[in-house]
Amino acid sequence: MQKKNTWDLRRLYAAAALFATLLGAAGCYKDLLPDEQDHLSNNMNYTTENFVAVLGKTNVFINVFNADYSTQPLTFTLENIRSGDKQPAPILSQQIDTRQWKTWYSGFEKTIDEIMSKTFVSKRPILDIRENSGEIIFWNVDSNTVAYGKYFFDVRVKNKAGERVFANLTLDVRRPHPYEPYTIDDITGIQKPLASGGLVKAHDARNVRDYMQRLLPKDSIDVFFVKTGTAKNTVSVRFFNPDSSIIPLTVFDMQRWDSLYYYSPQAATRVKFGFNQRFDTDSTIVTWDIPNPFPVLTDVSGGLDMAQVGFDFKRVNFGRQEAGYVMVRFAIQEPGEWTVAVKFRQKPKFEDD
């Protein structure tokens, strides 16, 4: 009997041990399950694979990567940057001084210094990528640093699930645009055909008449951009008759010189046109100090931000009072003293009839 009891007890202990083991195993359920892994979609892609960059300005390519709900954060790195002949192009990895923003440009800044105080200088590689979003940036360099032409690069996208390489993305570096609208073809370096941008016209014109009462359309008003110096960043506007005689600014008798604004879509506000407005002694040239680039957000806005200024006048046209204006719209990329020369193809009439 005693023996049987011992045997029973042993069996019981065995059962208890099994019980304890199973109970312990119940704590390990998690180990049986797959770990949560990052998701790296097969359908990720760059929506464009050819990035056209222009020298002399900051080129930002936003909204170019579709992560297809891959697990964030993704890490993007540029690799294998090479020139058109497939040779490495280390120049594009060179760190240069770049101007970046501490706080946003509001459009209400009173001075150029105030604008500049919102920025800081930081070293970045010339061809840059935003680390987690894959946006490509080609910083502002001149053609002395980087030669125009095609470059190729790969982008490696990583998360914990793995990595993928987007190979042979093209960087198409083109000639600088000192100003916009630019009349020179940035691939060939020669002037565009006159009919398609080889000549800048006035942005708008209203009630501008010649001496035969004909309305002068905006196409008959040419605009020329002339760089006259490099001492500081300014823009001047002057007007010329077809015979290159100067039209004094006094003809724009309705011009409210103290409140010239243009609309900046990026800042979502009206921005005062230039700083420190001044005239030459015979009132033929008006000059403003400008930040570079001008408008401030022009190169990061995808060409949306352009400065615009109209010159208003009024005259009596056959006994009827008419208000008119000539309007120019442009952006200045290249630092320096720029003159915007507006030249009429027909001699405009500003006197009253």
Partner 1 sequence: MRNIYPKVVALCMIVLLFAGVTARAQQRITVKGRVTDAQSHAGIPGVSIVDAELKKGIAVTDPNGNYSVTIEMNKTLLFRFIGYEDKAIKVTKAELNLQLAPAEKFLKESVIVGYQRRTKETVTGAVSMVSHKDIQDVPVTNLEQLLQGKVAGMNIQNISGAPGFGGTINIRGISQLNVTGSGDEAFLSSSNPLLVIDNVPVEYDGGIDQSMLQPGAATGPLSLLPPEDIESIEIFKDAQAASLYGSRGANGVIVITTRRGNSPVPIINFNNSVFLNTPPQLRPVWGGQLERDFRTYAILNYSEYDFLAKLQFANAQFITDSLNGFYNNSTDWQGLFYQKTFNSNHNLQISGGNAKMNYKANMGYQMYQGVIKNTGFNRYTANLQLNLQPNERLRISGQLFAALGQKQRGNGGGLTGNGAGSAFSSSLLPGPSHFLDFPELRAYIENVDDNNTMNIRSYLSVDYELLKGLRLTSATSYDYTTDTRDRFNQAFSNNNQTMVYGYISRRGELNTRNGLAYNFTTNPANSEKAHNLLVTAFTEANIRELETHVRDLRNGPSDYYWGPRGYSPRFYPGNPWNNAGGWNANGTLNSATYHALSFAGVISYNFRTKYNVDFSYRADGNSASGTKSRYAINPSVGVRYNFTKEPVFREMNFIDYGSVRGSYGINSRPASTRVNSLGYYAIYSDYNNMPAIGPDWGKMPNPFLQSEKAYQYNFGFEMSLFKGRVSVTYDTYFKESYNILQDQRLSDITGYNDIQVNGGAIVNYGHEFVLGLRPFVSSKAGGFQWNLNFNGAIARSVLTKLPAGLQMARFDDGGPFYIDLARKVGRNPFSNYIYQTEGIYQDNADVPVDPIRGVRYKTGRGNGVTYFQAGDPRWKDVNGDYFLDDRDDNVLSGNPEPMVTGGISSTWSYKNFSLNVFASYLLKRTILNTAMTSRLMKLTQPANTEYTGPGGGSVNIYDLDLIDYWQKSGDMSKYPNIYYVWRNGQIQPFRADQTLWEEDGSYFKLNQVTLAYTFRDFNFMKRLKLRSLRAYATAFNVAIFSPYSGPNPENVSQLGRDNINGYPSARTYTAGFTAEF
Say how far residue 42 (Cα) sits from the centre of its chain: 30
Question: Considering the rule CB under 8 A, would residue 121 count as an interface residue with partner 1?
Answer: no
Closest C-alpha among 241, 107, 89, 266 to residue 171? 89
Q: Per rule CB under 8 A, is residue 298 in the interface with partner 1?
A: no
Instruction: Pick one of 45, 46, 52, 66: the residue that binds partner 1 (CB under 8 A).
Output: 66
β-pair type (269-272, 261-264): antiparallel
Q: Does 257 bind partner 1 (CB under 8 A)?
A: no
Q: How many residues bind partner 1 (CB under 8 A)?
A: 59
C-beta of 62 vs 323, nearer to partner 1 = 62
Decide whether 169 or 267 has the Cβ nearer to partner 1. Answer: 267
Q: Is residue 74 involved in binding partner 1 (CB under 8 A)?
A: yes
Sign of CA dihedral 121, 125, 126, 132: negative
Q: Is 100 in the site for partner 1 (CB under 8 A)?
A: yes
Does residue 292 belong to the site contacting partner 1 (CB under 8 A)? no
Do residues 246 and 239 touch, judged by C-beta distance below 8 A? Answer: yes
Based on the shown chain and the rule CB under 8 A, indicate whether residue 101 belongs to the binding site for partner 1.
yes
Q: Is 224 left (phi over 0), alpha (psi -120 to 50) or beta?
A: beta
Distance CA 66, CA 25 (A): 44
In whole angstroms, give the CA distance from residue 281 to residue 120: 38
Nearest distance in Å: CB 79, partner 1: 20
Give the interface with partner 1 as residue ranges (CB under 8 A).
4-5, 8-9, 11-12, 15, 19, 22-23, 26, 29, 32-40, 58, 60, 62-63, 66-69, 71-74, 100-105, 118-119, 122, 130-133, 135, 137, 161, 265-268, 296-297, 300-302, 304
